[in-house]
Amino acid sequence: MKTGKKLIAVLLALVSLVTFTGTCESPRTLLTIYEGPKTMTSSAVANVSVNGYELFVYDVMVNHEHIWNANTQPSSTPVTYFDFSGKAKIVIEMPGLPKPVESAAVLPTSCGIEPVVDNGKVRFFITEPGQYTVVFNDSVNQALHIFANPLEEDVPDRDDPNVFWIGPGEWVMDAIVLKDDQTLYLSGGAVLHSIISVANAKNVRICGRGMIDGSDYPAWNQPGSYARVPIDLNHSKNVTVEGISIVNSNCWNLNSYSSRDVRIDNVKIISGRQNGDGFTFQSCTDHVVTNCFARTWDDSLVIKNYSGSTKGITFKNVQVWTDLAQSMEIGYETDKGLTLDPEISQVLFEDITVLYNWHKPVISIHNSDDAYVHDVTYRNITVENAFMQGDNGYNKELVEMTLQNSSWSTVRDEFGTIDDVLIDGLTVLNTLDGKVPRSRFAGQDEEHRITNVTFRNVVILGKPVTDLKDFKLSLNEYCEGITIQ
Amino acid sequence: MKRVLSLLCAGLLLLSVFSAGLSESEDDIETVVTVIHAPEQEHPERPDCFPDPEDDFIPLPETENYALNKPVSAGAHTDVYVSKNVNDGKTDTYWESKGFPAEMVIDLQGACTVSTVAVCLNPSSIWEPRTQEIAVLVSTDGENYSEAAPAAKYDFDAATGNRIRIDFEATEASFVKLVFTMNSSSRTGGAQAAEICVY
């Protein structure tokens, strides 16, 4: 009897605990959704709701041609966004698919979401802001990108004379030039056809939840067109870019040249046209890119030297989908400005998830001028799908480091070096053929070598790799101190 | 006692499912929603915070532009910025010389009475302000030139359309030559003109 009473007491305590937990764990969800411009119609491909509220879905350019083509024609994929805190139930219908949805996967895999597919509908819950990509029926065609932003904070005062405030709607103008101490706010629900130039300016902020859309111009290399970089920072300092999306650019996307003290947070880039590089920095110092997304038809995260050295570049918690070229590229141009003693140093790629890498190496340092590239760290890199198709059998490596001339070289009679590189945490989940992909290091000569490159915690296809041979790394004689632990 | 225990166990099980599972009751997440509405629009518009600067543009004559699509000749150009861009009717293409002085000759293909030359750059505000020094010469035979407007510095600013006009006494001309001797832009070492118009 005493045992029975104790059991009842324990059960009652558990009931109370469960009830208490049940009532306390569901705080209200705060949700902000944005009507699309009245001049546009929501995508016919995808219907998406969050907690029962319909979202406006944009069709944006992407490109499934995984080889360079100067006259490539992009296709499109659906994209939507909202802001929230708490819990969000996402429900998706895909009337634009050639057949009903039978299966779905939510990426990144690390989010651990297993969606429910029921009668052609997909549903799942999220509790953390972030970028989520849904792939249907095991096909990447018309994958849905959902940008679940955190709620906005520190929204600029639209009455401030230094604030340019662009509300929801579709807007067009040739270019926006921001000067010292100015802020451009691009509201959620805004689609802006323009470019933003920050040249020789300081203390500039670009923020909001809206989209910069370059679809009103042909690709830059087509007759009559020219490159219109959506956000172009040039010799500027103390610049912040946060929250917005950049789509349909006709060239590069977010460019920074000879600038310093730049912070980029929660910026989403999707491009499908020629030379659609994502975050691309030349001869910059102290740039930090966090919580961002880049799906690009050219290099996604790029560091080069155009005029002077590069120092202090961090990419942290960034998702990448590279339809063409490399995911994390240092080079090829490392001294385009023919400067004295060019360097690229103090570079960190951390917590990078490569959803798909379709063409060239995932990690690459192509020092094809004469720079001293050193102190470069890759930490916790996850490659979900290492699908390098390469170019006619070449450029299919997982990791590639070279000291060789290329068609992008400016300095052809001198070479550089690569030293002190750490790759700590490299996980590959899938490859095209189910085998470990090749990697390649090639120094130039006795004086121009690749030295002191350390791999740690490498796991490919579920198996730890602790031997360079198993890693399939080819080295020429001008490499030294290359180890895997 | 067993019945009590069974009921408690069943209740506990139900509560567990209710609180942790994907039950239908979870479909209704208490949500405070803010909807940001879009304005009524029939076409894309210029944002209100960037007033159209065209009201402040330097006005150009409304008479015929004798230079449009006429033959031109100049010295070496920079990169792809060839001389024929100066009178193609488009301000998003331009000519850029390779160094100074830079001469641009426009063959009007017949005698015209001319009194104004306009030099235009791309009106986009992405072109930062700059100053160019320009002289205008005219000729009836393409060989002997006389000065219509002496060399002077002209300010190009997107706020005024990135264009300047040079007015001079009306004169007969079959050829108009512009001589550029300076450009303050740090981005180039040559003369720049998207359009040269002759009225």
Q: What is the pLDDT of residues B10-30, one digit of tens each?
A: 444 333 333 333 433 456 899
Cis upstream peptide for A168 (omega within 30°): no
Could B50 and A176 be called an inter-chain contact, meaning their C-beta atoms sit closer than 8 Å? yes
pLDDT for the residue A223? 85
The verdict on a CB contact (< 8 Å) between B31 and A36 is no
Look over chain A and give the mean of its residue pLDDT values, rounded to a whole number: 94
Closest partner CB to A35 (pick from B33, B38, B128): B38
Alpha-carbon gap: A278 to the closest alpha carbon of chain B (Å) = 21
SS (H, E, C) chain B: CHHHHHHHHHHHHHHHHHHHCCCHHHHCCCEEEEEECCCCCCCCECCCCCCCHHHHCCCCCCCCCCCCCCCEEECCECCCCCHHHHHCCCCCCCEEECCCCEEEEEEEEEEEEEEEEEEECCCCCCCCCEEEEEEEEEECCCCCEEEEEEEEEEEECHHHCCEEEEEEEEEEEEEEEEEEEEECCCCCCCCEECEEEEC
| Domain contains A415 | yes
Instruction: Supply A309's token pair.
Output: 């050295």
Look at residue B11 in the predicted model and tell me its pLDDT. 42
A120 close contact with B: CB closer than 8 A? no
What tens digit of pLDDT does each residue of A122-159 get? Answer: 999 999 999 999 999 999 999 999 999 999 999 999 99
Structure confidence at residue A225 as a pLDDT band (50, 70, 90):
confident
What is the pLDDT confidence band of residue A393, given thresholds at 50, 70 and 90? confident
* Number of structural domains chain A divides into: 2
CB distance B46–A176 less than 8 Å?
A: no
Same domain, A97 and A223: no
The amino acid at residue B99 is G
Question: Looking at beta carbons, which residues of chain A come within 8 Å of B22?
Answer: 116, 125
Which of B15, B32, B41 lies closest to A38 in CB terms?
B41
> Distance between CA B82 and CA B98 in Å, rounded?
10
Domain check: are A362 and A220 in the same one?
yes
Spell out the residues 6+ positions from residue A293 whose beta carbon is closer than 8 angstroms to its own: A131, A145, A147, A267, A268, A269, A270, A318, A319, A320
Q: Between the CA of residue A99 and those of A31, A58, A95, A114, A137, what are the distances in Å? A: 32, 21, 8, 21, 9
**Do A95 and A175 lie in a common domain?**
no
CB atoms B43 and A39 under 8 Å = yes
Position A210 in a domain: yes
Domain harbouring B167, CATH code: 2.60.120.260
Confidence of residue B70 (pLDDT cuts 50, 70, 90): very high
Question: Are residue A145 and residue A173 in the same domain, yes or no?
Answer: no
Query: What's the rounded mean pLDDT across residues A186-195?
Result: 98
Kindly state the average pLDDT of the residues A282-293.
98
Residues A111 and A221 reside in one and the same domain: no
Tokens of A306: 């155009």
Residue of A nearest to B29 (CA): A51
- Chain B: nearest CA to A21, how far in angstroms? 8
pTM of the full structure? 0.84
Of A25, A28, A168, the CB nearest to B39: A168
Q: What is the CATH number of the domain that holds A372?
A: 2.160.20.10
Number of domains in chain B: 1
A171 vs B47, B126, B158: nearest CB: B47
The domain of A100 spans 30-149
Assign A9 a pLDDT band (cuts: 50, 70, 90): low
A145 vs A143: CA distance, rounded Å: 7
Tokens read off for A18: 């469960």
- Cα separation, A424 vs A36, in Å, equals 43
Q: Which of A274, A263, A329 is nearest to A297 (CA)?
A: A274
Using the 3D structure, point to which of A149, A174, A197 is the last residue of a domain: A149
A9 touches B at CB < 8 Å: no
Share of chain A above pLDDT 90, in %: 92
Asked whether residue A8 is assigned to any structural domain, the reply reads no
Distance CA A162, CA A202 (A): 13
- Average pLDDT rounded to a whole number, residues A239-260: 98
What pLDDT score does B121 carry? 97
Q: A140 and A175 in one domain?
A: no
As for the ipTM of the complex, it is: 0.91
- Yes or no: say if A279 and A230 are a contact pair by the CB < 8 Å rule: no
Q: Do B29 and A51 touch (CB under 8 A)?
A: yes
- Per-residue pLDDT, A5: 57
User: Under an 8 A CB cutoff, do A51 and B33 touch?
Assistant: yes
Residues A221 and A256 in one domain: yes
Q: Please choose, from the candidates A211, A209, A202, A210, the residue with its C-alpha nearest in 3D space to the C-alpha of residue A183.
A: A202
Q: Distance between CA atoms of A58 and A52, rounded to whole angstroms?
A: 19
How many Å apart are CA A274 and CA A300, to the nearest integer? 13
Question: In terms of domains, do A188 and A235 share one?
Answer: yes
Among the partner-chain residues B9, B46, B126, the one whose CB lies closest to the CB of A172 is: B46
Q: Check pLDDT > 80 for residue A13.
A: no
Which residues share a beta bridge with A199? A234
Q: Is residue A1 part of a domain?
A: no
Taking the CA atoms of residue B67, residue B70, residue B72 and residue B77 in that order, the dihedral angle to the nearest 10 degrees is 80
Output the pLDDT for position B124: 87
Flag whether pLDDT at A6 surpasses 90: no
Does the residue A22 lie in any domain?
no
Give domain status of residue B131, yes or no: yes
Does B146 score more than 70 pLDDT?
A: yes
Contact residues, chain A, for B126 at CB < 8 Å: 174-175, 177, 195, 197
Any B CB within 8 A of A164 CB: yes
Question: Does A172 contact chain B (CB < 8 Å)?
Answer: yes
Q: Is B48 part of any domain? A: no
pLDDT exceeds cutoff 90 at B9: no
Asked if residue A461 and residue A335 are part of one domain, the reply reads yes
In degrees, rounded to 5, the angle at the alpha carbon of residue B154 between the alpha carbons of residues B151 and B157 is 165
Per-window interface: A 204-263 vs B, CB < 8 A: 226
Contacts of A19 in chain B (CB under 8 A): 15
Residues 6 or more apart whose Cβ sits within 8 Å of residue A151: A30, A32, A83, A84, A85
Which residues pair with residue B64 across a beta bridge? none
Q: Which of A11, A26, A34 lies at the smallest CB-CB distance from B36?
A: A34
Interface touch B38/A38, C-beta < 8 Å = yes
CA distance A164 to chain B (A): 6
According to the model, what pLDDT value does residue A26 have? 58
Task: Tell me, yes or no, whether B47 lies in a domain.
Answer: no
Q: What is the model's pLDDT at position B53? A: 81
Q: How many other β-carbons are positioned within 10 Å of the β-carbon of residue A154?
A: 7
At residue A82, does pLDDT exceed 50? yes
- Residue B27's pLDDT is what? 64
Domain co-membership, A142 together with A167: no
Q: A19 pLDDT exceeds 80?
A: no
Q: Does A336 touch chain B (CB under 8 A)?
A: no
Nearest-angstrom CA–CA distance, B34 and A270? 26
pLDDT tens for residues B94-116?
A: 999 999 999 999 999 999 999 99
Distance CA B139, CA B144 (A): 6
Asked whether residue B26 is domain-assigned, the answer is: no
Residue B155 located in a structural domain: yes
Q: Could you tell me if A308 and A379 lie in one domain?
A: yes
Work out the number of other CB atoms within 10 angstroms of the CB of residue A372: 18
Q: How far apart are CA B29 and CA A84, in angstroms?
A: 13
Residue-number span of the structural domain to which B105 is assigned: 54-198
In a domain, B27, yes or no: no
Please identify, among A123, A149, A175, the residue that sits at the C-terminal boundary of a domain: A149
Q: How far, in Å, CA of B46 to CA of B60, rounded?
A: 24
Judged against a pLDDT cut of 90, whether residue B4 lies above it is answered with no
Of all residues in chain A, the one with the smallest CA distance to B16 is A18
Q: Name which of A116-125, A413-422, B48-57 the model is least confident about.
A: B48-57
The domain boundary, picked from A149, A184, A216, lies at A149
Q: Which of B29, B33, B44 sits opposite A170 (nearest CB)?
A: B44
Q: What per-residue confidence (pLDDT) applies to B21?
A: 33
In chain B, what is the greatest distance between 2 CA atoms, to the nearest angstrom? 122
Asked if the structure places residue A342 within a domain, the reply is: yes
Residue in chain B closest to A6 (alpha carbons) equals B5
Residue A298, CA distances (Å) to A218, A293, A325 in order: 17, 14, 5
Distant-in-sequence, close-in-space partners of A321: CB < 8 Å, separation ≥ 6: A133, A294, A295, A296, A300, A354, A355, A356
Collect all residues of chain A within an 8 Å Cβ-Cβ radius of residue B36. Answer: 32-35, 168, 187-189
Residue A345 lies in a domain: yes
pLDDT, tens only, B181-190: 999 998 788 9
Which of B19, B36, B123 minimises the CB distance to A168?
A: B36
Q: What is the pLDDT of residue A483?
A: 98
User: Does A131 share its domain with A175?
Assistant: no
